[in-house]
Amino acid sequence: MRFASLGSGSDGNALLIESQDGTRTTRVLIDCGFSLREARRKLRAAGIEPEQLDAILVTHEHGDHVGGVFRLSRAHRIPAWLTHGTLSASANESTLTDTDALPTLLRTVTPDQPFEVGGLHIMPVSVPHDAREPVQYVIDDGRVRLGVLTDLGHGSAHVRRAYSGMDALVLECNHDSALLAANSAYPEVLKRRISGPWGHLANDAAADLLASLDNRRLRWVVAAHLSAKNNAPALAQQALAGALQTDPESVGVADQETGFHWTAI
């Protein structure tokens, strides 16, 4: 299995996953918060044509995750998997016409109930976030397990169980608590929403969550969904490296513009 980010942050998110099993190759995209034109450009920069995707897995309805999902699905006839709550909350994005092909492409995900796409076993994990029915994903190809865990306010016991035993982990490090508190451009209500139990993980909270997991198999960890105004890559790397007692340079970072290149597990 290998994975790559097309971009990660408040201006758009998408993560590519590819696995080969003999002659079968399965490719999925987790979220698409980019315009159709930008999503196509980013996919092709990663060496993937949109038609090669087997599925789009959606985490929740916020625009930086779902904004381009339905356009990409409709244009290239890619099945989109999402919870009923996410679909209901995305009504403006998924508006259909009588001749629209999109209804036949939608698949309903039940939180914490696994499903299969090609050669991948996929677990949608329910998470605490201020969305209608949000999930994050654990991807298993029978050999390795990749955990993708962004957009959650705290590491619940359920999350900690679900994300133990990963070979690779993409983990939210949204903000540095001190930087967020000192940001005079953000109103207090927004600060409370971001830092609250249904918001986003701070660096120290992400580190605490990481340290609590069974990491005996963990080979790769990538900090993701960093705030451009309330965080810095070095701070996120330092926090996660401290949890793993390793060198900060060994922790990857997904940035907004380029994400990160293909990484093989």
Break the chain into its structural domains and give their ranges: 2-258
pLDDT at residue 93 in the model: 65
pLDDT score for 100: 64
Cα 92 to its chain centre, rounded Å, is 22
Q: Which CATH superfamily is domain 2-258 in?
A: Ribonuclease Z/Hydroxyacylglutathione hydrolase-like (3.60.15.10)
Identify residue 227 by its one-letter amino acid code: S
CB 141 within 8 A of CB 89: no
- Report pLDDT for 101: 61
Strand ordering across the sheet containing 2-7 = 106-109, 80-83, 55-57, 24-30, 14-21, 2-7, 260-264
pLDDT along the chain (265 residues), means of 10: 98 97 95 98 98 98 96 96 95 57 86 97 98 98 98 98 98 98 97 97 98 98 98 98 97 97 97
The reported pLDDT for the residue numbered 76 is 96
CA gap 102, 52 in Å, rounded: 18
Global confidence as pTM: 0.95
Asked if residue 239 lies in contact with residue 211, where contact means CB atoms within 8 angstroms, the answer is: no
Structure token digits, residue 157:
């016991």
CA gap 32, 71 in Å, rounded: 10
- Are 58 and 66 a contacting pair, CB within 8 Å? yes
pLDDT, position 103: 73
